Amino acid sequence: MEHRCSVRKSIEFQLLLYKHGLPIQSGISRNLGLGGMFINTGTYPWRKNEYLEVEILSSDGNSGMRLPAVVVHHSEHGVGLMFDAISNEQRRILRRWLFEKHAEPSDANVSSRGTRAVA
């Protein structure tokens, strides 16, 4: 049964996952929505309800937007995350990536803002 509150869009971009403020793994997004995302990470031992931060990298590999998230499910392919306490500005940027033509996370003009939320 589907429990998502927003549509997911297949968007591929590089990102880093943080735990307790330290980078623990890189990954590639498989899909993105206003409420969360799925990340191809392989067989990392994720725990349900684990708190992480997802840093979406700009196309030049520099730091982009960091979003607090919670592990909802995991498999041998990766991890499904639900965003937690994102700001209005972060939601606006996500909405732009999802619904505006030609806007995406690798767009340096969007992700270079350095928007960050503290979990």
pLDDT in tens, 23-79: 999 999 999 988 999 999 888 888 999 999 999 887 666 667 899 999 999 888 899
Query: In the Cβ-directed half-sphere of 109, how many Cα atoms lie within 13 Å?
Result: 5
Nearest-angstrom CA–CA distance, 2 and 93: 25
State residue 3's pLDDT score.
Answer: 55
Q: What is the reported pTM?
A: 0.75
Structural domain boundaries of the chain?
8-111
CATH homologous superfamily for the domain 8-111: predicted glycosyltransferase like domains (2.40.10.220)
61-74: b or e for each residue (b if 16 or more CB lie within 10 Å)? eeebbbbbbbbbeb
State residue 64's pLDDT score.
Answer: 77
